[in-house]
Amino acid sequence: MGAKYSNIGLRLAGTPFLAEHFLIRLELKTPVILSHHTTLDALLAGLKFQECGDLDEALNSLPLRRQHGLWCGSSVFLQAPVLTDEVVLGSSVRHQTLDPYLIKTKKNGRYIAVDTKGGDFRNRQSFVRTYSSPAAYFMGEGNLAEVRRLMMAMSGMGKKRGSGYGQIDLKRSEFIDLDYPRQQGALMLSDGTPSRPIPVATWEGLNSLAPVWRAVVRYTPPYNLSEPVECVLPTHQHIEADRVNSLLM
């Protein structure tokens, strides 16, 4: 598979670009730490905010089509085989974390001592799960050229990127224009299962009979602020390389 572009697509009302169906393959160099059901729209919203510094602009200018109130970008799918591991990460208070205006001073004007060996400011350890996989896949519908431009600024994905997790080899990654509309659209895989978290009411309107998982989750960015609702979830998280074409293309 190679990166390619075409003018085949659907121009949407009020949308200044042709909506192309596409597949993204990100070559992973290091184990990745993922949030639950990391989605393409979440990834692009973060990159857009990093670029413009304005949350409203970032959320309103994603290069993805909107359908049924959802961004047409899938959750991440890791290429099998996927090896999991549990690692211990440490964290400590940085000086930027402490606002001197919020810390009480003594009568002589000096700040009180902050105990970093115990109490609220002690060093902490957390256990996180890592995933080792050859590649991560997303599928979507939108402006592939703009999606690629934004993602070329990525050094990694997932949590703890600054510590070396989730590093991506962009030179070996692929942004593939499918050159044809997917019959199922971007909200559903070829076997009728959801490609991303979708509210139950919306999913029932898509008339799929495939078995699904349900949970109360957030489904639209900003994911840390939006209201959780009952959604159907992707049943595939790890996909064998020989099934990528049949499920995602």
Model confidence pLDDT, tens digit, residues 54-77: 988 988 899 999 999 999 999 999
> Predicted confidence band at 13 (pLDDT cuts at 50, 70, 90)?
very low
Give residue 225's pLDDT.
87
Same domain for 158 and 77:
yes
Same domain for 91 and 24:
no
Average model confidence (pLDDT) across the chain: 83
Model confidence pLDDT, tens digit, residues 146-201: 999 999 998 899 888 888 899 999 999 999 998 777 777 889 999 999 999 999 99
The answer to whether position 1 is within a domain reads no
Whether 101 shows a pLDDT value over 90: the answer reads: no
Model confidence pLDDT, tens digit, residues 24-45: 999 999 999 987 779 999 999 9
Whether 138 shows a pLDDT value over 50: the answer reads: yes
Same domain for 185 and 231:
yes
Whether 7 shows a pLDDT value over 90: the answer reads: no
Residue 72 in contact with residue 141, Cβ under 8 Å?
yes
Whether 5 shows a pLDDT value over 60: the answer reads: no
The answer to whether position 5 is within a domain reads no
Residue 17 in contact with residue 7, Cβ under 8 Å?
no
The answer to whether position 71 is within a domain reads yes
The answer to whether position 2 is within a domain reads no
Full domain range(s) for residue 121:
87-126
Give residue 14's pLDDT.
45
Give residue 70's pLDDT.
93
Number of compact structural domains in the chain: 2
Q: Is the pTM of this model over 0.85?
A: no
Same domain for 114 and 144:
no
Distance between CA 200 and CA 192 in Å, rounded? Answer: 15
DSSP 146-193: HHHHHHTT-SB-SB-GGGTTTBEEEEEEEEEE-SS--TT-SSB-TTS-
Same domain for 206 and 141:
yes
Distance between CA 32 and CA 51 in Å, rounded? Answer: 23
H helix or E strand, kind and range, residue 199: strand 198-199
The answer to whether position 24 is within a domain reads yes
Give residue 8's pLDDT.
34
The answer to whether position 54 is within a domain reads yes
